[in-house]
Amino acid sequence: MRRPLPLLLAATLLGSAAAGPAAAQADKVPFRALPESKAQVQLSFAPLVKRAAPSVVNVYGTHVERRAAGRGAMDEFLRRFFGDAGPGGVPQERAQRSLGSGVIVDAAGLIVTNNHVIENMNEVKVALADRREFEAQIVLRDPRTDLAVLKIKAPTGGLVPMEFGDSEGLQVGDFVIAIGNPFGVGQTVTQGIISALARTQVGSSDYQFFIQTDAAINPGNSGGALVDLNGGLVGINSAIYSQSGGSHGIGFAIPASMVRAVVETAKGGGRTVRRPWLGARLQNVTPDIADSVGLDHPTGVLVASLQGKSPAEEAGLKRGDVILSVDNQAVDDPEAFGYRFALKGVSGETRFTVLRGTSRITVPVRLAPAPETRPRDALKVKTRSPFLGATAMNLSPAVAEEMQLDSGNDGVVITEIDPGSIANRAGLQKGDLVVAVNGTPVPTTRDLERATRAPQSMWEVTISRNGQQLTSVFGG
């Protein structure tokens, strides 16, 4: 049986004088709407690109460090004869470089890019579309969103900022263009559509809530602009899904609503982005949980536990509640909730729609940053022990919120591990809570310093990881 004809094609055939074999032949020709004017033939993204491209810059980062001595017989030989310099007294340095893109968002010279583009860089330069180059300083880094804000050190005018678009109003199927510097070949424009919204399983930042597009995004596009047809910045290109390193038509951008929040913090002089603290552990609503609470499909987030004296506890949230929306914006998983909640700022209040039992209620929640209940007192362990190369801090709600830990009232948490260090080889991980060393409790970083000060023939280390206590024994 033949498929029904498209309405417009059917109307065309019915209005034709053709009949019999001629009509049957016409039925085999696929219908295409033809341009009706020269203007339609000449439709182009060129005017949009002309307006948006001057706002997109290339970002170059360089990290220069002295070459470590003692990495081999030749290194030791050169060090003995030339010290920390090479032959001729030239310092032996090693440079790491990165290349990405950025977007001018303020006429005073503020530029937003990805944090991973300038991570660990101590020299940053930007090149404008008109080939002017400027040194830039890092104003703000926000690893949790993978965003950073730069500022041109000596702007000379002529900067063209891009206005923010409405990322919340995007729909799947909308046309967008991506502008950046893929593979360092120079400014490049690609076009596509919005493939999906609210992607939360990408894994390139703490706040996973990405715009997915099939506009070609390649290495070097990171930090570039995703632009709507009004010329507004709707996203910062951040990641791709690829098994080869090239574009496979699956690219991800950080929505402009989050980008704007980070930029506004930088404009206000902030060095870090402050976000509201809930003080509750949330988990996905599974199909079984949805059935048990009367939902027709899994949605929302389940309150698994509450911290004392937290906004969640003050608001009267209870274990087993299902949060369905934040200020009437639906949330489907903990990542979507985290994104929506993070945009609310740290003053005033927001309202949750909560399913409790069979009733839907509205719960006002106070917006406030996580408290710094005790000094962080950061410690970089430098004595020979299983912790050598690890950095630790005193835990507090503020530190726990930054590190996305479930509990944050006391204890010592590992915040950094140097690659290749003894701590790294011992299997310690960022986020581990140090419970005890050689049977002695470790409530503060000063206690950890004392516990690791003296050499030992054997070390017994107890940590808490993801709610489970693990004890390991190491040789001295």
Residues belonging to the binding site for substrate are 116, 146, 220-222
d(CA 352, CA 379): 39
Tokens of 443: 């409530």
Residue recorded with tokens 């702007």: 155
DSSP 91: B
All residues at 6 or more sequence positions from 131 whose CB lies less than 8 Å from its CB, including other chains:
none
**Where is the binding site, in residues?**
116, 146, 220-222
Q: Which of 142, 146, 321, 432 is catalytic?
A: 146
Residue recorded with tokens 């003692």: 70
All residues at 6 or more sequence positions from 195 whose CB lies less than 8 Å from its CB, including other chains:
172, 212, 213, 214, 249, 250
The enclosing H or E element of 21 equals: helix 21-27
Q: How many CB atoms lie within 10 A of CB 106?
A: 17
Task: Count the alpha carbons within 13 Å of 318 in the hemisphere toward its beta carbon.
Answer: 7
Listing DSSP states for 325-367 in one string gives EETTEE--SHHHHHHHHHTT-SSSEEEEEEEETTEEEEEEEE-
Q: Which of 55, 98, 116, 214 is catalytic?
A: 116
| Bridge partners, residue 433, by sequence | 413, 464
Pairing state of beta strands 359-366 and 458-465? unpaired
DSSP 347: S
Residue recorded with tokens 């919120």: 401
Tokens of 172: 């799947």
Q: What amino acid occupies position 158?
A: G
Q: Are 296 and 290 in contact (CB under 8 A)?
A: yes
Q: Is 116 a catalytic residue?
A: yes
d(CA 204, CA 210): 10
Distances (CA, A) of 465 to 430, 436, 449: 10, 13, 21
Q: Is 206 a catalytic residue?
A: no
Q: Are 216 and 192 in contact (CB under 8 A)?
A: yes
The enclosing H or E element of 288 equals: helix 287-293
Q: How many CB atoms lie within 10 A of CB 327?
A: 13
All residues at 6 or more sequence positions from 371 whose CB lies less than 8 Å from its CB, including other chains:
277, 396, 397, 398
Tokens of 118: 């300038």
Q: Is 146 a catalytic residue?
A: yes
Q: Which of 55, 195, 222, 310 is catalytic?
A: 222
User: SS3 for 276?
Assistant: strand
Q: Are 220 and 151 in contact (CB under 8 A)?
A: no
Active-site residues, by number, are 116, 146, 222
